[in-house]
Amino acid sequence: MDEPDSDDASLWQRYDRAGTPISAERFVELARQPGYRFIRRTSLLDAADPHRTFRITTVWIGAVARTPGDGPPQIFETMVFGPDHHPFRPLHGRKYGTEPDAMIGHHEAAGKLATQLIDPVRVDLD
């Protein structure tokens, strides 16, 4: 098993998708694996107004800044990107501690957004 880094243990810690602490080297290996970082990607558009297209992306972050007493590491994030917004500034974002919670959060975000569209069309990319 990989040993987590000890020199920065009170600040940056790294975890695999199962939430197991990992070394910096293992983190890099996992981040480079095709498909490992992306949990789910969804496009949602409004057929009544094709300019209203949104992306919902849930990713494994894996590295988080932590101090004692922070609680469980939040190593996944769901972000909603929309029209007329900077591609790297989400309209909404939420972090999760486990992959199943992140999947639930992804589907909830897509469902909530769909209720705000006139004629929603959902395409799950993963």
Residue-range domain boundaries for the chain: 12-124
pLDDT at 85 (0 to 100): 63
Q: Retrieve residue 114's tokens.
A: 């769909």
Q: Retrieve residue 111's tokens.
A: 């469902």
- Mean pLDDT, to the nearest integer, of 19-45? 95
Distance, in Å, from the CA atom of 95 to the CA atom of 105, rounded to the nearest integer, reads 9
pLDDT at 5 (0 to 100): 47
pLDDT of residue 1 exceeding 90, the answer is no
Alpha-carbon dihedral 94, 81, 58, 8, rounded to 10 degrees:
-60
Is the model more confident about 6 or about 65? 65
What distances in angstroms separate CA 44 from CA 10, 54, 65, 74, 108, one per listed residue?
Answer: 39, 5, 32, 25, 13
pLDDT at 73 (0 to 100): 92
Distance, in Å, from the CA atom of 67 to the CA atom of 97, rounded to the nearest integer, reads 16
101's enclosing H/E stretch is helix 99-114
- Mean pLDDT, to the nearest integer, of 63-75? 84
